[in-house]
Amino acid sequence: MKKILLSSTFMLTAFMVVAQGALVGKYFNQFADNEDYVKVSISSKMFSLFTDLEAGSEDEQEFLKAVSKLKGLKIIVGDSVPDSKKLYTQAMKDISSGGYEELMSVRDAGENFQFSIKEQGTKIEELIMLVGGGKQFILLSLYGEIDLKNISKIAKGMKISGFSQLEKLGHKEKEEEKK
Protein backbone atom coordinates (compact mmCIF):
# COMPACT_ATOMS: atom_id res chain seq x y z
CA MET A 1 0.00 0.00 0.00
CA LYS A 2 2.84 2.40 0.86
CA LYS A 3 4.52 1.67 -2.48
CA ILE A 4 1.32 2.47 -4.35
CA LEU A 5 0.85 5.70 -2.40
CA LEU A 6 4.48 6.73 -2.91
CA SER A 7 4.49 6.00 -6.63
CA SER A 8 1.15 7.80 -7.09
CA THR A 9 2.49 10.84 -5.25
CA PHE A 10 5.67 10.81 -7.35
CA MET A 11 3.71 10.56 -10.62
CA LEU A 12 1.34 13.37 -9.60
CA THR A 13 4.27 15.61 -8.63
CA ALA A 14 6.06 14.86 -11.91
CA PHE A 15 2.88 15.60 -13.87
CA MET A 16 2.41 18.94 -12.07
CA VAL A 17 6.00 20.01 -12.83
CA VAL A 18 5.54 19.12 -16.51
CA ALA A 19 2.15 20.87 -16.63
CA GLN A 20 3.61 24.11 -15.32
CA GLY A 21 4.65 26.21 -18.26
CA ALA A 22 2.81 23.86 -20.66
CA LEU A 23 0.71 26.66 -22.13
CA VAL A 24 3.77 28.70 -23.06
CA GLY A 25 5.51 25.47 -24.11
CA LYS A 26 2.81 25.04 -26.76
CA TYR A 27 3.65 28.46 -28.18
CA PHE A 28 7.40 27.79 -27.88
CA ASN A 29 6.91 24.74 -30.10
CA GLN A 30 4.65 26.64 -32.50
CA PHE A 31 7.24 29.40 -33.04
CA ALA A 32 10.44 27.36 -32.55
CA ASP A 33 11.83 28.15 -36.00
CA ASN A 34 10.19 31.54 -36.45
CA GLU A 35 12.81 34.28 -36.21
CA ASP A 36 10.13 36.96 -35.70
CA TYR A 37 9.87 35.80 -32.07
CA VAL A 38 12.37 35.94 -29.26
CA LYS A 39 12.06 32.93 -26.99
CA VAL A 40 13.59 32.97 -23.49
CA SER A 41 13.63 29.99 -21.16
CA ILE A 42 15.18 30.10 -17.70
CA SER A 43 15.45 26.81 -15.83
CA SER A 44 15.12 26.08 -12.13
CA LYS A 45 18.88 25.52 -12.03
CA MET A 46 19.45 29.13 -13.06
CA PHE A 47 17.13 30.35 -10.30
CA SER A 48 18.88 28.14 -7.77
CA LEU A 49 22.21 29.75 -8.73
CA PHE A 50 20.77 33.10 -7.62
CA THR A 51 20.53 31.77 -4.07
CA ASP A 52 24.32 31.36 -4.01
CA LEU A 53 24.82 35.11 -4.47
CA GLU A 54 25.50 37.34 -1.51
CA ALA A 55 22.95 40.10 -1.09
CA GLY A 56 24.17 43.50 -0.01
CA SER A 57 21.04 45.56 0.39
CA GLU A 58 17.65 44.67 1.79
CA ASP A 59 16.15 44.90 -1.72
CA GLU A 60 18.71 42.38 -2.99
CA GLN A 61 17.90 40.03 -0.09
CA GLU A 62 14.18 40.23 -0.87
CA PHE A 63 14.85 39.61 -4.57
CA LEU A 64 16.96 36.51 -3.81
CA LYS A 65 14.31 35.20 -1.43
CA ALA A 66 11.60 35.69 -4.05
CA VAL A 67 13.46 33.95 -6.88
CA SER A 68 14.66 31.06 -4.70
CA LYS A 69 11.20 29.48 -4.92
CA LEU A 70 10.83 29.83 -8.69
CA LYS A 71 11.09 26.78 -10.92
CA GLY A 72 11.16 28.38 -14.33
CA LEU A 73 10.39 31.26 -16.63
CA LYS A 74 9.40 31.14 -20.27
CA ILE A 75 8.82 34.19 -22.42
CA ILE A 76 7.84 34.62 -26.07
CA VAL A 77 8.13 38.11 -27.54
CA GLY A 78 7.14 39.22 -31.00
CA ASP A 79 7.55 42.91 -31.78
CA SER A 80 6.56 42.90 -35.46
CA VAL A 81 3.82 40.31 -35.57
CA PRO A 82 1.22 40.99 -38.27
CA ASP A 83 -1.40 38.70 -36.71
CA SER A 84 -0.86 39.72 -33.05
CA LYS A 85 -4.59 40.32 -32.47
CA LYS A 86 -5.40 36.78 -33.62
CA LEU A 87 -2.59 35.33 -31.48
CA TYR A 88 -3.70 37.34 -28.46
CA THR A 89 -7.30 36.15 -28.86
CA GLN A 90 -6.21 32.50 -29.19
CA ALA A 91 -3.90 32.74 -26.19
CA MET A 92 -6.75 34.28 -24.14
CA LYS A 93 -8.92 31.27 -25.02
CA ASP A 94 -6.10 28.87 -24.09
CA ILE A 95 -5.58 30.62 -20.76
CA SER A 96 -9.26 30.65 -19.81
CA SER A 97 -9.72 26.98 -20.78
CA GLY A 98 -6.50 26.00 -18.95
CA GLY A 99 -7.83 26.62 -15.46
CA TYR A 100 -6.21 30.01 -14.93
CA GLU A 101 -7.91 32.75 -12.95
CA GLU A 102 -7.70 36.31 -14.22
CA LEU A 103 -6.14 38.77 -11.78
CA MET A 104 -6.06 41.91 -13.83
CA SER A 105 -6.60 43.02 -17.39
CA VAL A 106 -6.30 46.29 -19.25
CA ARG A 107 -7.66 46.79 -22.74
CA ASP A 108 -7.33 49.95 -24.76
CA ALA A 109 -6.77 51.03 -28.35
CA GLY A 110 -2.99 50.65 -28.15
CA GLU A 111 -2.30 47.61 -25.99
CA ASN A 112 -4.07 44.84 -24.13
CA PHE A 113 -2.58 42.92 -21.27
CA GLN A 114 -3.79 40.35 -18.80
CA PHE A 115 -2.37 38.65 -15.72
CA SER A 116 -3.71 35.25 -14.74
CA ILE A 117 -2.69 32.70 -12.14
CA LYS A 118 -3.05 29.01 -11.50
CA GLU A 119 -3.23 27.98 -7.86
CA GLN A 120 -2.63 24.71 -6.07
CA GLY A 121 -4.40 25.01 -2.74
CA THR A 122 -3.38 28.35 -1.31
CA LYS A 123 -0.13 28.66 -3.29
CA ILE A 124 0.26 30.29 -6.66
CA GLU A 125 2.07 27.84 -8.91
CA GLU A 126 2.05 29.80 -12.15
CA LEU A 127 1.62 33.38 -13.26
CA ILE A 128 0.80 34.09 -16.90
CA MET A 129 1.20 37.50 -18.48
CA LEU A 130 -0.24 38.10 -21.93
CA VAL A 131 0.32 41.31 -23.90
CA GLY A 132 -1.02 42.09 -27.34
CA GLY A 133 -1.69 45.13 -29.41
CA GLY A 134 -0.50 46.81 -32.55
CA LYS A 135 2.03 44.28 -33.81
CA GLN A 136 3.28 43.20 -30.39
CA PHE A 137 2.69 39.84 -28.73
CA ILE A 138 4.20 38.76 -25.39
CA LEU A 139 3.40 35.59 -23.49
CA LEU A 140 5.19 35.00 -20.20
CA SER A 141 4.93 32.11 -17.76
CA LEU A 142 6.57 32.30 -14.35
CA TYR A 143 6.18 29.10 -12.36
CA GLY A 144 7.17 27.69 -9.02
CA GLU A 145 6.02 29.01 -5.66
CA ILE A 146 5.06 32.61 -6.35
CA ASP A 147 4.34 35.34 -3.86
CA LEU A 148 2.49 38.18 -5.60
CA LYS A 149 3.88 40.66 -3.08
CA ASN A 150 7.35 40.04 -4.53
CA ILE A 151 6.44 40.21 -8.22
CA SER A 152 7.58 43.82 -8.69
CA LYS A 153 10.91 43.00 -6.97
CA ILE A 154 11.46 40.12 -9.38
CA ALA A 155 10.51 42.31 -12.35
CA LYS A 156 12.97 45.04 -11.33
CA GLY A 157 15.77 42.56 -10.61
CA MET A 158 15.47 40.72 -13.92
CA LYS A 159 15.68 43.21 -16.75
CA ILE A 160 13.99 41.13 -19.44
CA SER A 161 11.81 42.49 -22.25
CA GLY A 162 8.15 42.45 -21.25
CA PHE A 163 8.93 41.83 -17.59
CA SER A 164 8.32 45.51 -16.79
CA GLN A 165 4.61 44.74 -17.16
CA LEU A 166 4.87 42.66 -13.97
CA GLU A 167 5.67 45.82 -12.01
CA LYS A 168 2.12 46.99 -12.79
CA LEU A 169 0.78 43.92 -11.00
CA GLY A 170 2.94 44.66 -7.96
CA HIS A 171 1.62 48.23 -7.84
CA LYS A 172 -1.96 46.95 -8.15
CA GLU A 173 -1.40 44.64 -5.15
CA LYS A 174 -0.03 47.53 -3.05
CA GLU A 175 -3.07 49.68 -3.91
CA GLU A 176 -5.43 46.90 -2.80
CA GLU A 177 -3.55 46.47 0.51
CA LYS A 178 -4.08 50.18 1.29
CA LYS A 179 -7.86 49.85 0.94
CATH of the domain at 92: 3.40.1000
Lowest-pLDDT choice from 41-45, 56-60, 170-174: 170-174
Residue 80 carries which side chain, given as an amino acid letter? S
Single-letter amino acid code for the residue at 149? K
| Residue 10 is assigned to a structural domain of this protein | yes
Q: Specify the pLDDT at position 159.
A: 60
Residue 57 lies in a domain: no
Most confident of 38-47, 92-101, 105-114, 140-149: 92-101
For residue 153, pLDDT over 70 is answered with no
Please give the backbone phi and psi of residue 130, each rounded to the nearest 5 degrees, phi first. -125, 130
Residue 26 lies in a domain: yes
Q: Which domain holds residue 7?
A: 2-43+71-178
pLDDT > 70 fraction of the chain, expressed in percent and rounded: 69
The shares of helix, strand and coil residues in the chain, as percent rounded to the nearest 5, are 45, 30, 25
54 part of a folded domain: no
Residue 77's beta-bridge partner residues?
Answer: 38, 138
Residue type, 70: L
